[in-house]
A and B are shown apart, each in its own frame.
Chain A
Amino acid sequence: MNNDRINGIFNKYQGQAGSLIRVMMEIQEEEHWLSREILVKISEKLEVPLSRVLRIATYYKSFSVTPKGRHEIQICTGTACHIRGAQSVLDTVQDLIGIKPGETDLDQKFSLETVNCQGSCTCGPMIKIDQVTQSRLSSAQIADLLKKYD
């Protein structure tokens, strides 16, 4: 955990209950997940009940209360990508890495999630790995691509 960065975030928003979501977002971006320890700390620093922190942590799709893998795979299941075969992309990836959306593999190499429309419908079916957009890949191309990560 990068304590300096986290403390920096806390110092910026100390005691501002209204910034709860912002703080959680910044920490999630920094750490890629929100540990129990962090959630408790957020509740103390921003002076909001832990129940509300937990509730928000589980409410939004982008927050994760379990650790993420080194590489984040996001598959768009927006309408346009759905119509263009997002399901088969998802099936391919699931078969290749053996986890379902919302999960992280045992080696903590990949995390898989489905995301809503990313605004790149032209590229559909779209898959993003570590925030890099890949468009219209075949199953074989996906397999080759995933081999490049470790």
Chain B
Amino acid sequence: MTRINSAAELEELRQGILSKKDPDKPSIAICAGLSCLGLGNGTIISAFKEEINKQSLESKIDIVTTGCHGFCEKGPIVVINPEEICYLEVKPEDVPEIISQTVIEKKVIDRLVYTDPNSGEKATHMAEIPFYKNQMRVLLGNNSKINPKCIDDYLMIGGYSALAKALFEMSPVQVLEEVKIANLRGRGGGGFPAGRKWETTRNAPNEEKYVIVNAHEGEPGAYMDRALFQANPHSVLEGLIIGAYAIGSHQGFIYTRHDTPELRKNLDIALAQAEEYGLLGENILGSGFNFKVEVHFDVGIFVSGESSALMRSIEGKAPEPKPKYIRTSVNGIWDRPSNLNNVETWANVPQIISKGSEWYNSIGTDRSKGTKLISLSGHVCNSTIVEVPMGTSLKEIVYDFGGGIPNGKRLKAIHLGGPMGGTIPESLIDNPLDFDVLAKLGASMGAGDILVMDEGTCLVELARYFIDFLSGESCGKCVPCREGIRQMQNILTNMTKGKGREGDIELMEELAEVMGAAALCSLGRSVQNPLLSMLRYFRDEFEAHVKEKRCPAHSCKEAAIEGV
């Protein structure tokens, strides 16, 4: 690889890659996302390699292992290009047939394509499957086209042209303004306007400033950040470099989980390749702008996703939060101005810069713009990642993309935002995906994780589960959070065992008030939100546990609880 020294050279390189690529050469894209890995795609990949070897087709067919294609429930997923024929639930036995029939003879194997469960209609191409057709895959769309370990693939689809545009056609302030006008809001949970945060860090007096990717993804049930980052690391990196340019930072940090080896590998390769091309380091693309990136790891605690805790962890200290009286955008890592954004937030930036804020503003609702990645899990037919425009109704997400509730059961409620989010009953799922609407309902967008619950789910049990989770994932420094969680855990555990006492619900409400106001960081100030939302919509269920020792969902099995 040779260094790229100007925007023109970048274009030249891109054209070179495109011209070398034979558009008719068959290639097999195999999803190596985390779910497909779990569903055994390793054997599929080796089966393809073996078969190609056996037929001596190495030079005629490419195998590309890509990141997550979504639609994980139907994995392992294999896409045959250039025709974009999409096969679902592929087994090693299918491989020889796929090679001889589809790749060579160009015939579609009927049994492997998508069949609509209702109409029985088949869909051969990815773009025709309703699951994909109805999404708006701005950030995920390229996942099945690129090998995340190959920067040339990213360049081929136009990668780093937004960076070139920013560096050579726009001033840092213009970039900042564009992001502000686009109304990009943070995807990590808070929904804070990214442009305004950037501006604070840009204007902070210290010369040394930092930009950070929050790829901690600690919410149980949220897995879109890992899927996106692993499948298309350069899209996030490009956003980060553009942001650094706008903010005036020359040092970036990526904070991610240590327990996802595939992601770590892809990330290391992406950084090394970007550096070799001169997209990172000194004098990027010959523009005179310098920027380096360091990777840091979370080694397993939820609270380290919180901004001040995360920054202390990068400093090599125990990630204990600092109170928000001094903002991290001004006083962050080593007390220097530090701008933190979520993976998905950063990935939106190149899109905004290349397509413009006007385009971005045309997607979404009044105050929530763009698309949102959603990870669906729980009692839903497709546990999957989807990308939909903001404003899509929750109902569409659960039924059209999620495929509804399995086993003929009825939907009871959905929970958004994990242990700091909230539950919404079935009766309200016509509401749109929108930061402010969800907040009014007592839920929150969170990271975009939606947990679907059927009628057999007990909310007292779910509340207990979240508190249980948090009891080991907070730092334990301040009294309201540490002791509040401890007592709530006792109370909720008792309730699920039929030992709830009169007054317990009110006591938890008192605790919630104190935690919400007096805890040190937003973990302790938000952990009571799930409980409060459940009490708002399902109070009778809690009362049944306390007063009648009864679990209306027939879920709590302890002897003292009556199933009825």
Q: Do chains A and B touch in the complex (CB under 8 A)?
A: yes
Contact B258 A25 (CB under 8 A): yes
Which of B34, B220, B317 touches A120 (beta carbons < 8 Å)?
B34
Q: How far is the CB of B325 from chain A (nearest CB, A)?
A: 24
Contact A119 B418 (CB under 8 A): no
Contact A52 B318 (CB under 8 A): yes
Q: How far is the CB of B294 from chain A (nearest CB, A)?
A: 10
Contact B258 A56 (CB under 8 A): no
User: What sequence of 0s and 1s flags, for each residue 64-84 of chain A, a beta carbon within 8 Å of any chain B beta carbon?
Assistant: 000000000000011110111
Instruction: Kindly specify which of B13-21, B161-169, B363-371, B377-385 makes contact with the partner chain.
Output: B377-385
Contact A22 B297 (CB under 8 A): yes
Which of A20, A79, A117 touches B465 (beta carbons < 8 Å)?
A79
Hey, which chain A residues are within 8 Å of B469, CB to CB?
Answer: 77, 116
Contact A126 B313 (CB under 8 A): no
A18-B315, A21-B316, A56-B318 known; A117-B75 Cβ under 8 A: no
Asked whether B219 is an interface residue with its Cβ less than 8 Å from the other chain, the reply is yes
Q: How far is the CB of B354 from chain A (nearest CB, A)?
A: 29
What is the size, in residues, of chain B's interface with A at 8 Å between Cβ atoms? 52
Contact B302 A20 (CB under 8 A): no
Bound: A118/B37 CA distance, A: 12
Bound: A78/B39 CA distance, A: 18
Contacting residues of chain A (4-58) with chain B, CB-CB under 8 angstroms: 17-22, 24-25, 28, 48, 52, 55-56
Q: How far is the CB of A25 from chain B (nearest CB, A)?
A: 5
User: What sequence of 0s and 1s flags, for each residue 108-119 of chain A, a beta carbon within 8 Å of any chain B beta carbon?
Assistant: 000000011111
Contact A79 B37 (CB under 8 A): no
Bound: A28/B259 CA distance, A: 12
Asked whether B323 is an interface residue with its Cβ less than 8 Å from the other chain, the reply is no
What is the size, in residues, of chain A's interface with B at 8 Å between Cβ atoms? 40
Hey, which chain A residues are within 8 Å of B314, CB to CB?
Answer: 18
Asked whether B130 is an interface residue with its Cβ less than 8 Å from the other chain, the reply is no
Contact A59 B318 (CB under 8 A): yes
Bound: A52/B259 CA distance, A: 23
Q: How far is the CB of A10 from chain B (nearest CB, A)?
A: 15
Bound: A78/B378 CA distance, A: 10
Asked whether A149 is an interface residue with its Cβ less than 8 Å from the other chain, the reply is no
Asked whether A133 is an interface residue with its Cβ less than 8 Å from the other chain, the reply is yes
Bound: A20/B72 CA distance, A: 37
Closest to B302 in A: A116
Contact A83 B258 (CB under 8 A): no
Asked whether B227 is an interface residue with its Cβ less than 8 Å from the other chain, the reply is yes
Asked whether B63 is an interface residue with its Cβ less than 8 Å from the other chain, the reply is no
Bound: A117/B221 CA distance, A: 6
Asked whether A3 is an interface residue with its Cβ less than 8 Å from the other chain, the reply is no
Contact A80 B300 (CB under 8 A): no
Hey, which chain A residues are within 8 Å of B444, CB to CB?
Answer: none
Contact A119 B227 (CB under 8 A): yes
Contacting residues of chain B (208-227) with chain A, CB-CB under 8 angstroms: 217-223, 226-227
Most chain B CB within a 10 A radius of its CB, from A56, A78, A133, A135 = A78
Bound: A95/B313 CA distance, A: 37
Q: How far is the CB of A52 from chain B (nearest CB, A)?
A: 7
Closest to B315 in A: A18
Q: How far is the CB of A61 from chain B (nearest CB, A)?
A: 3
Hey, which chain B residues are within 8 Å of A115, CB to CB?
Answer: 259
Most chain B CB within a 10 A radius of its CB, from A62, A83, A120 = A83
Asked whether A2 is an interface residue with its Cβ less than 8 Å from the other chain, the reply is no
Contact B72 A60 (CB under 8 A): no
Asked whether A99 is an interface residue with its Cβ less than 8 Å from the other chain, the reply is no
Asked whether B88 is an interface residue with its Cβ less than 8 Å from the other chain, the reply is no
Contact B318 A80 (CB under 8 A): no
Which of A25, A124, A131, A135 touches B377 (beta carbons < 8 Å)?
A124
Asked whether B341 is an interface residue with its Cβ less than 8 Å from the other chain, the reply is no
A25-B297, A62-B300, A133-B38 known; A18-B316 Cβ under 8 A: yes
- B residues touching A (Cβ–Cβ < 8 Å)? 34-35, 37-39, 72-73, 75, 217-223, 226-227, 258-261, 296-302, 313-319, 375, 377-379, 383-384, 415, 418, 449, 451, 453, 457, 465, 469, 472-473, 475
- Show 28 A/B contacts (Cβ-Cβ < 8 Å), sorted by A: A18-B315, A21-B297, A21-B313, A21-B316, A22-B296, A56-B317, A59-B301, A61-B299, A62-B300, A79-B377, A79-B378, A79-B449, A118-B34, A118-B223, A118-B259, A119-B34, A119-B35, A119-B217, A120-B35, A120-B38, A122-B73, A122-B377, A123-B38, A123-B39, A124-B383, A133-B34, A133-B37, A135-B38
Sorted nearest first, the 10 A-B pairs with minimum C-beta distance are A80-B377, A61-B300, A78-B220, A119-B223, A123-B38, A79-B221, A133-B38, A122-B72, A122-B35, A62-B300
